[in-house]
Structure 1
């Protein structure tokens, strides 16, 4: 369970960062005039969405396995899924999941801190 929990936390943070960078991409790409420096940077950042998509799929699988092992309900799993699609939300959800997992599996207290 320790490796699964650690993998979930890393994936959540990576997905969250990629989502924020992707959001910045959209702001730069569509918020500035055509041909400007920020607009060109926005176009260059488009590749972030490819990485976010693939890593999000892995995140979904790991989150599903984690919720199954923890015997959580469907709404808890759905909140984890939505968090990977709403900029910034995943950081709050990851912290909440970490608290719940550590409370449910006290043996992870020391393992999750390292």
Structure 2
């Protein structure tokens, strides 16, 4: 379970960073005037959402496997899934998961 948790942790941070950066770039793209340098930058970063989507799918699979091994409930799994869709939330959820799984890793 140590490798699975390590993989989850890395994926959580990658998904979180991609989501934050993507959100900021989208704000630049849609809220700033057309032709502005930051607006153009936001527009060129659109493929970032594709990367977030693919990494998020892998994150969902790893999170599911982790919750199955830890024998957690479906609401706990759903919280992990929602965290990958709300900017910033994933960092708080990852910390909670780490705190809850630490005793299980010591026993393993």
TM score, norm. by length of structure 2: 0.97
- 1:13 is aligned to 2:23: no
Q: What's the Cα RMSD here?
A: 1.0
Alpha-carbon deviation of 1:97?
A: 0.1
Distance 1:41 1:91 in 2: 26
Instruction: In structure 1, list runs of 5 or more residues that go unmatched.
Output: 109-114
Instruction: In structure 2, list runs of 5 or more residues that go unmatched.
Output: none
Distance 1:105 1:5 in 2: 9
TM score, norm. by length of structure 1: 0.92
Cα deviation digits, residues 88-111 of structure 1 (max 9, x gap)? 000000000000000233247xxx
Q: How does 1:1-114 map to 2 (within 5 A)?
A: 1-107=1-107
Indicate the SS of the match to 2:72.
coil
Alpha-carbon deviation of 1:25?
A: 1.1
Count of paired positions: 108
